[in-house]
Structure 1
Amino acid sequence: MIVFRYLSREVLLTLSAVSAVLLVIIMSGRFIRYLAQAAQGLLDPGVLLLIMAYRVPGFLQLILPLALFLGILLAYGRMYLDSEMTVLSATGMSQQRLFAYSLAPATLVALLAGWLSLGLAPQGVEHVARILNEQSAMTELDTLVPGRFQSMKNGSRVTYTEELSEDRGALSEVFISETQLSSKGDKERGISVLVAESGRQEIQADGSRYLILENGYRYDGNPGQADYRAIKYDTYGVLLPKPEVAAEVTEREAIPTRELIGNDKPRMQSELQWRLSIPVLVFVVTLLAVPLSRVNPRQGRFLKLLPAILLYMAYLALLIAARGALDKENIPAVLGLWWVHGLFVLIGLLLLYWEPLRLRWAARRVAQEVARG
C-alpha cells in the first residue's frame, strides 16, 4: 500500500505540473487571438475572460490524456534513473503490477476527462457560440473605443472618435477612412475620408443602423495623386457594418451528449464516439506509457521520450483521421474510432509483455544449449 500511494502521488504531481504548463501555453495563444480581435473591434474586451473561462473544459479534455502520458513517462523515468525501480523490481514489482498500480490515477483522470468531454465541454462550447453570435449582431459603434483607431472589414475601414457618450449614441471629433474597391472587389479605386465635428446613431425601421455625421468634410482620391475631391456637408449618413467574428466551434460540438445518443446521422455518431474516446484514450496511453517509461540509467530519462511522443501523436492523428472518415461515411459507424483504440491496445500489450517474453525465450535457448552441451 505504501508503494501504491508513492507511485500514485508521483504520477499525479507530475501530471498536475504538466497540465498546468500545457493549459497556460494553450490559453495564452488563444487569448492573444482574442485580444487581436478585440483590438480590431470585432469583440467586446469585456467578454474575453468569460470566453476563456468557457473554453477551459474543452482545452482540459485534450490536455489530460497527454499530461497523464507525460506524467507517467517522467515520474517512472526518474525512478528508473535513481534505481528506485530496480529496488522495487527486486521485491517483485513487475511491469504488469506497475501497470495495475497505474490504473488507479488513470481511473481518476478518465473520470475527470469523461465529465469534461461528455458534460462541461459541450456546455462551454454552447456558451461561447452564444457570445460570439451576440458579438456578430453588434455594430461598429458598439465595439468602438474612444481615442483609438479601430480597423473593420479586414482593415479596409478605420474609425476614430475623440469622445463617446456612455449610451454610445453620440460621438465627437469623428474620423473614418475607407478603401474603395472595384465592383469585383479585387482592385482599389481610392480612399474615402470622412471627418466630422459630431455624430449620432440612428436606427432605421428595417433594423439597420446608421452613423449620422454633422458638420464635416468628405475627401475622395488616390494617394500620391493630386485629384482629390473635397465635399463639405452638414449631415452625412454612414451605414454601420457588423463585426465579422469567425466562429471557432461547430454546431455539433455544442449539442448535449444525451441528444447524440441514438442519432443515426454520421456526423452525430462521429461526435459521440469522439467524446467517448477521450476517457478511453486515458487508459490506452497508460498502457503505452508504463513500458515506454522503462529506461537504462546509463541512457538517461529522456531517451524514450521523443519516440513515446511520436507514438502518441500517431495515435491522435489516426483518431482524427478516423473521425473524418466517419463523417464522410467512408467507414461504418460500428467500426468507427474503436479500431484505432484496438490497434494501440495491441501495441501497448506487445510493449508490456515484450521484455518478459524476451527474457523467457533467452532462458529457454540457454537451457537448450546447456542440455546439448
Structure 2
Amino acid sequence: MIVFRYLARELLVTVAAVSAVLLVIIMSGRFIKYLAQAAQGLLDPGVLLMIMGFRLPGFLQLILPLGLFLGILLAYGRLYLDSEMTVFSATGISPRRLLAYTLAPAALVAAMVGWLSLGLTPQGIAEVERILNQQDSLTEFDTLIPGRFQTLRGGTRVTYTRELSEDRSELGGIFISETNLSQSGKNRGVSVLVAENGRQEIQPDGSRYLILENGYRYDGSPGQADYRAIEYETYGVLLPKPEVSGEASEREAAATRELFGNRDIRYQSELQWRLSLPLLVFIVTLLAVPLARVNPRQGRFLKLLPAIFLYMAYLALLIAARGALDKGRIPAALGLWWVHGLFAVIGLSLVYWESLLLWFKRRRALREVMNGQA
C-alpha cells in the first residue's frame, strides 16, 4: 500500500500540473475569440466570464485524458530515470502489477471525465446557447462602446460614438457609415451620417431607432465626385441586431437521458462520443504505462514524442469515426467501439511485449532442440 500511495500521489500531482497548463492554453485562445467579438459589439463584455465558466467542462473532458497520458509518461519516466522502478521491480512489482496500481487513479480520472461528458458539459453548452440567444435580442445601441469603431451586418455598417451616458440613453459625437447593397449583393454606394448628439427611441412595435440631432448625411460612391450632402436637425436610424451565431448543435446541448433510445443516427453518435471519453481514459492508461518505460541512459523524453503521435492518431481516428457515423457510413452497432478495440489491442501488445518475445524465444529454442535430437 505504501508503494501504491506513492505512485498514485506522484501520478495525480503530475496530471494536475499538466492539465492545468493545457487548460490555461486552450481557454486563453477561446477567451481571445470571445474578447474580439465583444470588441466588435457582438457580445456584452459582462457575459464573457459566464460563457467561459460554462465552457470549462467541455474543455476539461478532453484535457483530462491527455493530461493523464502525459502525466504517466512524465511521472513514470522520472521514476525509471532515477532507478526507482528498478527498486520496485526488485521487490516484486511486475509491469502488470504496476499497470494495476495505475488503473486506480485512472478510474478516478475516468469517473470525473464521465461526470463531465454525461452531465456538466451538455448543461454548460445549453447555458452558452441561452446566453448567445439573449445577445441576439440586443441592439447596436446596447453593445456600443465609446471611442471605438464597431462593425456590424457582416462589415457593411460601422458605428462610432465619442461619448455615451452611463444609462446608455444619450450619445455625443456620432459617426455611422453603411454600405448600400442591392439584392444581388452589388455595391450601390456608401451612406455616412455624422451628428452632434443622439438618443434611443423605442416604437410601439418594439423596434428601436437612434434619433440623431444636428448633423449631416453624405451619399455617394468612393472614387466619384457626385456625392450628395444633406443637413438635418433630426434623423432616425433603425438599430440592427448583432449577429451572434451559436457554436453547438441541438444534440450537443441535449441531456444524456434524451439520447438513450433515440434512433436518430446523429444522436446515437453523440451518445457514443460521450461514453467514449471515460473509456478513452482507461485505454490511454494501457498505452502510457509500457511507453513510459525508458532506459536511464536514454533520458525520459525519448519515447514522449512517439507516444504523443500515438495518442493523436487515437483521437484523430476517433473523431473521423464519429464523422463517418454521423453520415451513416458506419453501422451504429459498430460505431466508435472498433477504434477503442484497436487501440486496446495495441496497448495489450505493449504490456505483454516482453512476455511474447520470451515465449517466441522459448518456442524457437525448443524447436531447435527437437530438430537436433532428430
Letter in 2 for 1:151: T
Give 2:315's aligned residue. 316
Letter in 1 for 2:108: L
Q: How far 1:218 moved relative to its partner?
A: 0.4
Q: How far 1:225 moved relative to its partner?
A: 3.8
Q: Deviations over 1:105-160 (max 9, x none)?
A: 10100010001111111111111000000111211001001232222223332211
Letter in 1 for 2:220: G
Letter in 2 for 1:302: F
Corresponding position: 1:43 with 2:27: no
Q: Deviations over 1:237-260 (max 9, x none)?
A: 212111111321221111111111
Runs of 4+ in 1 over 6 A off after TM superposition: none
Q: How far 1:180 moved relative to its partner?
A: 2.8
The whole-number CA distance in structure 2 between the counterparts of 1:343 and 1:369 is 34
The whole-number CA distance in structure 2 between the counterparts of 1:299 and 1:269 is 46
The whole-number CA distance in structure 2 between the counterparts of 1:267 and 1:364 is 50
Give 1:357's aligned residue. 356
Q: Deviations over 1:212-249 (max 9, x none)?
A: 21221001233444332211112222121111113212
Give 1:29's aligned residue. 29
The whole-number CA distance in structure 2 between the counterparts of 1:252 and 1:109 is 25
Give 2:149's aligned residue. 149
- Superposed counterparts of 1:144-293, under 5 Å: 144-185=144-185, 187-293=186-292
3-state SS in 1 of match to 2:154: coil
Q: Deviations over 1:2-22 (max 9, x none)?
A: 111111111111100110000
Q: How far 1:162 moved relative to its partner?
A: 2.4
Give 1:8's aligned residue. 8
Letter in 2 for 1:67: G
The whole-number CA distance in structure 1 between the counterparts of 2:140 and 2:189 is 22
The whole-number CA distance in structure 1 between the counterparts of 2:96 and 2:250 is 43
Which deviates the most, 266-275 or 194-203? 194-203
Give RMSD over aligned pairs: 1.8
The whole-number CA distance in structure 1 between the counterparts of 2:181 and 2:263 is 47
Q: Deviations over 1:251-280 (max 9, x none)?
A: 111111111111111111111111111111
Q: How far 1:59 moved relative to its partner?
A: 0.2
The whole-number CA distance in structure 2 between the counterparts of 1:365 and 1:301 is 34
Q: How far 1:197 moved relative to its partner?
A: 1.9
Letter in 1 for 2:225: A
Letter in 1 for 2:5: R
Corresponding position: 1:126 with 2:95: no
The whole-number CA distance in structure 2 between the counterparts of 1:239 and 1:94 is 75
- Superposed counterparts of 1:5-154, under 5 Å: 5-154=5-154
The whole-number CA distance in structure 2 between the counterparts of 1:297 and 1:131 is 53
Letter in 1 for 2:195: A
Q: Normalized against structure 1, the TM-score is what?
A: 0.95
The whole-number CA distance in structure 2 between the counterparts of 1:252 and 1:206 is 34
Q: How far 1:192 moved relative to its partner?
A: 1.7
Q: How far 1:332 moved relative to its partner?
A: 2.0
3-state SS in 1 of match to 2:142: helix
The whole-number CA distance in structure 1 between the counterparts of 2:167 and 2:205 is 21
Call closer, same or farther: CA 1:51–1:276 in 2, change over 3 Å. same
Say how many residue pairs are matched: 372
Q: Normalized against structure 2, the TM-score is what?
A: 0.94
Which deviates the most, 171-180 or 140-149? 171-180
The whole-number CA distance in structure 1 between the counterparts of 2:238 and 2:24 is 41
The whole-number CA distance in structure 2 between the counterparts of 1:358 and 1:222 is 79
The whole-number CA distance in structure 2 between the counterparts of 1:6 and 1:364 is 39
The whole-number CA distance in structure 1 between the counterparts of 2:192 and 2:366 is 93
Structure 2, unaligned runs of 5 or more:
none
3-state SS in 2 of match to 1:158: strand
Q: Deviations over 1:64-103 (max 9, x none)?
A: 0010011001111111112111221222222111110001
Call closer, same or farther: CA 1:133–1:32 in 2, change over 3 Å. same
Letter in 1 for 2:138: M
Letter in 2 for 1:160: Y
The whole-number CA distance in structure 2 between the counterparts of 1:77 and 1:285 is 16
Which deviates the most, 279-288 or 297-306? 297-306
The whole-number CA distance in structure 1 between the counterparts of 2:363 and 2:339 is 35
Letter in 2 for 1:76: Y
Aligned-pair identity in percent equals 76
The whole-number CA distance in structure 1 between the counterparts of 2:148 and 2:190 is 20
The whole-number CA distance in structure 2 between the counterparts of 1:183 and 1:276 is 47
Call closer, same or farther: CA 1:262–1:183 in 2, change over 3 Å. closer
Q: Deviations over 1:156-211 (max 9, x none)?
A: 322112222333233222111122334422x4343221011222222334332221
Letter in 2 for 1:196: A
3-state SS in 2 of match to 1:318: helix
Letter in 1 for 2:289: V
The whole-number CA distance in structure 1 between the counterparts of 2:302 and 2:172 is 65
Q: How far 1:320 moved relative to its partner?
A: 1.1
Give 1:328's aligned residue. 327
The whole-number CA distance in structure 2 between the counterparts of 1:247 and 1:128 is 8
Q: How far 1:299 moved relative to its partner?
A: 1.9
3-state SS in 1 of match to 2:19: helix
